[in-house]
Each structure stands twice: as structure tokens, then as C-alpha cells.
Copies of this chain bind each other. A is one copy, B any other.
Amino acid sequence: MCDQLRQDYLSCYGHSTLDTPNIDSLAKRGVLFTNAYCQAPECAPSRASFYSGRYLSSHGVMGYEDATRLDEQMISDYLEPLGYRTAVVGKSHSFKKESELRRLGVDMNTAYAKASQHGGFEPYEIHEGDLACSVAPNDHGYSNYLRSLGYDAANPWQSCANSSIAPNGEIHDGWKLRSARFPAAVSEEHSETAFITSRAIDFIAETEDRPWCLHLSYIKPHWPVIAPKPYHNLFGPSDVQPVVSNQIEIKHPHPVYQAFTQLEYSRTFCRNDVRETVIPVYMGLVKQIDDHLGRLFEVLEKRALVENTIIIFTSDHGDYLGDHGLGEKYLFHDASVKIPLIIAAPGVENDTTRGMKRDELVEAVDILPTLIQLTGADTCHERLEGHSLLPLLELKATAANWREFAVSELDYSDQGVRNRLGLDPYMCRAIMIKSHRWKYIYYWNLRPQLFDLHEDPNEFVDLGSMSEYKSICHMMDERLVSWQNSLKRRVGIAYDCVLEQGPDRDEKNGFIIGRW
């Protein structure tokens, strides 16, 4: 998993100047999904959906500081009973609330409790990026690593790996986008991407004798946008794709969209000098990940692990990079909500599906059910809200018998938007319902947004306030209600138990209701 990698910044997804041969090689031997969506264009909520196979409304993570509900079961809860060592190298940005666990009397020193602070994964090498120095109170392996190499600083993650160094030796703060034009103040081999890849290789070498599931979770190309030499200037302004925006977007803007355009990162990314400085470095960071994945794939080949290892390549969400007058993510334009998704599963792909592209609407919540079906773990009908992608991988399902719409959720109480709009923090809910033709965005207590993707694939013309589209909005509202009712809320009773319920079983148990 990459962090904040747009779907269209890979050559296998059509980028014209960013060549990613190693990721492309996965697509050549697996299946590439063109319509893959994250459950939220924001790190923590999106990741909680990947890890639990459930939507935001179920796992409860709506913002970057939210804990997952205590009884959510994560990838490890399904795979570890089968003997898979299930670990994370890199970022998880997913935790259960320690104070709540302690209130129940849980001993925080158990392996289970420790993993609960990292998406349920064994924290083989936790590296949360910026969070390592603030939110997550964990051991900072990467910072210690840099210190051991002589990078001497209170916070070498920030002062070295995520600051840049000018030709005159001056250090530039990586939080300022202008600093992106210089290379990182660490060498490439000591950068985050190199370190995380090496630690993944360590894990694989160490775990060869038993089944394993590794969440290799890169921080990049997530900000700070600082790349080590030579990736900082592999690309230049001529490699930057034309901005996707149109004057019509700001004519009668939706109030939430308008508020996001007014934020600092949006205003900044509307500047050509910013885009021409930052986007080439963003591309360099992607290129660096591709190179390191090549290194990892070589290890897998050498160790003869390619033929029994399922590889899934994806990202938690995209990045506007100035499109639609926006920076960062959060809203539901494709730049932000679409994700790359490639699955190479040995034993599944065959000559027919090898290198295939599939256009069905697939979601982050589908990953865990897919793993479960591939590994034979408990299918847990009472919890999982996604659908295994195996029927698509095996050509057993087609668009005709697949889901009709994808869903993504947003709580916009953060980012200053709530204050700009004067809203109560629990009113800031938005839900995308996206069919092949329509992208509909429901805002609680505000008008919806609607885009006709057939007529307007760039999502410029918001039809949400036009009376002639009322019936379309109503149809999409019905899908929204249907989706909300499909959520698996009864996690406190097993599927088999629900199946057995009824008067016959009650009578067997001694309850006879209503017999004369």
C-alpha cells in the first residue's frame, strides 16, 4: 500500500511520462481494476476499512484521530487463527482506544493489546511518518536507524529525511512545499522508502518457514513531499499533466466544495509554480517506490516465493494536486477517491485473466473478503461488508451480477471547513454513491452534488441543484438508504446462530409462545 497515491500516477494506469515497470509487471501477471474506490479519501478511515472489511459507518473511524470501535476484527483476527504471522512494516494509522481497553481491564502488555494499537498487525517495524513524532507513542525504529547512521537530530525524521538540502548546504523545512525542489537531507539508501522495503525483506527472510501476511505500507508519496537524490529531479515541469479544472466549477459551487477550495492547500495548489515544483517530486517518490518494489520482487523470486504469494498493490486514497482547484484529498472527485488496485494471486490467474483490466466497481472493503476466500479463513457473514473479488479474478462474475454502485464516506468536521460553514461537528456527513454513470454525493442538511460521468467524465458540472435531475437524485437516495440498511450491525451474534433462530428452536429450548 502506498499513501496518497493517485490511481493515474502509474504507467499501467496510463500515466504518459511516469514509468513504473515493476508495478506494471504485477498488472501483467495479475488483474488491474480500473474502477477501484477507497471507503474514505482520508488515511485513518480508509485504512480501517481495508483492515476490517467494513465501511466507516460500521467501524466508526471518521477522522484522522478516531479509534476503531473495540469489537472490530481486523485482518489479523481472521488470518492468525490459520497460522499466518500477520505484521505491518510502515504505516498503519489505525488503533483501538487505550483508555477504553484499560477501562475493561485489558493488560496493555499482551501481544494482542500491542497489535491493537497498529490495526491489529504485529508491529514488526512501525513507521507512521509524521505521526511517529506525535500521535503514536511507539518506538521509532526509523529515527533510531538514522541516528545510528550519524544523522544527529532530535527528530531526524523531520530534520533529515523530510527536510531538503540546498546546493549551498542550507537545510529547508520539508513542511514548506517550496523546499521540494532540493533533494532530501538523507541519502537515497537511508530514505523512508528504502528503509521500509529493507525491513519488509527482513521480515520475509525471518518468517520463511511459516505462512505470513505482510502489510508493507509506504508513507510516500504522502507529504512532506521531499525525495532523496536522484528522485528529486528525475522529472520536470514538462512531465506535469494538465490541471483538471474548469471555470464552471466555481460558478454556483456547493458550499462544502467551496469551503475546501478556500483552504490553504487548495489555494497553494492552484499556483502553477507550486504544481511545477511539487508534482515532479511526487512523481519521483512514486518512481522510487517502484524501484524498491523491483528489489522486493527480486527477493521473492530468489526465494521461490512468487508462486505462492498473493500480492495486492493499492493506495489508501489519492491526491488532488490542484485538480478542481483543490489540494490534498477528502472530497470525492476521482483524483481523490479512486485508488490503484492490482491483484496477482498465484493459482488464480491463468492465461485468460493474466494482464486483464476489469472495470467493475470494486472497493477497499473487498480486499479482506478476497484474502479470506483465498486463504480459507472464516467468512464471518455477520461482519464483512465487502465482497470477495475472486469471482472477478476468475471470470466467474461480470458487471451484470456485480455491485451497481460504490460508496465512500466523509466527515468534514475537520480541516476548518466546519467552522467556515458554522456547522455542528456531528452534522458534517457526506456520502458518495457512484454508479457507472452517476456520481451522487449526499450531504446531510445540504443540497446534494451530482455528476453525469457519461456527459462529463471530468466532473465539472454539478447537477445537484437542478430541478430536472431531481428524479436521478431521488433514485440515488434510494440506493443510499439501501446501502445504509445493508450495513452489518449485528456483530454481537454469529451468522449460524441467526440462521437457526425461529419457533422450532425456541420450542426445543423450552419456550412455547402463544400455544393454546
Residues in A lying within 8 Å of B, measured CB to CB: 56-57, 60-63, 65-71, 96-97, 100-101, 103-107, 110, 112-113, 130, 133-134, 158, 175-178, 223, 263-266, 268-269, 271, 273-274, 327-328, 381-382, 411, 413-416, 418-419, 425-426, 429, 431, 442, 444-445, 474, 477-478, 480-482, 484-493, 495, 497-499, 501-504, 509-516
* Set of chain B residues within 8 Å of A274, measured between Cβ atoms: 516
Q: Which of B158, B429, B477 has a CB less than 8 Å from the CB of A477?
A: B477
B133 & A492 in contact (Cβ 8 Å cutoff): no
What residues of chain B lie closer than 8 Å to A134, measured between beta carbons? Answer: 509-511
How far apart sit A269 and B244, CA to CA, in the bound complex (Å)?
Answer: 67
Complex partner residue of A264 from B411, B414, B515, CB under 8 angstroms: B515
With known contacts A175-B511, A482-B444, A490-B60, A516–B271 Cβ distance under 8 A: yes
A56 contacts B513, C-beta separation under 8 Å = no
Q: 8 tightest A-B contacts by CB?
A: A265-B514, A67-B492, A70-B71, A444-B485, A175-B512, A70-B70, A414-B501, A416-B502
What are 28 residue pairs bridging A and B, where the CB atoms are less than 8 Å apart in the complex?
A: A56-B489, A61-B492, A63-B493, A66-B493, A67-B493, A70-B71, A104-B113, A105-B110, A105-B113, A133-B510, A134-B510, A134-B511, A175-B511, A175-B515, A176-B512, A176-B515, A268-B515, A327-B513, A411-B490, A425-B495, A425-B498, A425-B499, A442-B485, A474-B474, A477-B477, A477-B481, A481-B481, A484-B484
Q: Using A176-B516, A481-B481 as known contacts, say yes or no to A490 and B66 having CB atoms under 8 A apart.
A: yes
Residues of B within 8 A of A477 (CB): 477-478, 481
In whole angstroms, what is the CA distance A413 to B444 when docked? 30
The residue from B69, B107, B273, B493 contacting A71, defined by CB atoms under 8 A apart: B69
B266 and A501 within 8 A (CB): no
The answer, among B67, B96, B478, B501, for a CB contact under 8 Å with A413, is: B501
On whether the beta carbons of B106 and A498 are closer than 8 Å, the reply is: no
| Also in contact, A514 and B69, with CB within 8 A (given A63-B498, A416-B503, A478-B477) | no
Q: How far, in whole Å, are A223 and B480 apart by their CA atoms in the complex?
A: 40
Please give me the residue from chain B that is nearest to A485 by CB atom. B444
A413 to chain B, nearest CB (A): 6
Q: How far is the CB of A380 from chain B (nearest CB, A)?
A: 12
Q: A68, A70, A223, A489 — which one has the most chain B CB atoms within 10 A of its CB?
A: A489
* A492 engages B97 (CB within 8 Å): yes
Q: How far is the CB of A493 from chain B (nearest CB, A)?
A: 4
A62 to chain B, nearest CB (A): 5
Within 8 Å by CB of A68, from B63, B382, B492, lies: B492
Chain B residues within 8 Å of A515, by CB: 175-177, 264, 268
Answer whether A445 and B482 are a contact pair too, CB < 8 Å, given A105-B112, A474-B474, A497-B65: yes
A381 proximity list for chain B (CB < 8 A): 426
User: Cα distance A134–B62 when bound, in Å?
Assistant: 40
Which residue of chain B has the shortest Cβ distance to A514 in the bound complex? B265
Cα–Cα, bound, A486→B488 (Å):
18
Q: Give every chain B residue within 8 A of A67 (Cβ-Cβ).
A: 492-493
Contact B112 A100 (CB under 8 A): no
Contact A513-B481, Cβ < 8 Å, known A105-B107, A105-B113, A493-B63: no
Most buried by B among A103, A158, A382, A484: A484
Question: How far, in whole Å, are A158 and B100 apart by their CA atoms in the complex?
Answer: 40
* Chain B residues, CB < 8 A from A418: 502
A177 engages B62 (CB within 8 Å): no
Q: Tell me the nearest residue of chain B to A417, going by C-beta.
A: B502
Q: Which residues of B contact A502 (CB under 8 A)?
A: 414-416, 418-419
Q: Residue on B with the closest CB to A97?
A: B492
**CB atoms of A492 and B60 under 8 A apart:** yes
Contacts of A112 in B (CB 8 A): 103-105
Give the distance in Å from the alpha carbon of A234 to the alpha carbon of B200 in the complex: 78
With both chains docked as a complex, state the minimum distance between the C-beta of A105 and any C-beta of chain B, in angstroms: 5
Q: A489 contacts which of B57, B419, B488 (Cβ < 8 Å)?
A: B57
- Return A433 CB to nearest CB of chain B, in Å: 11
Q: Nearest chain-B residue to A274 (Cβ)?
A: B516
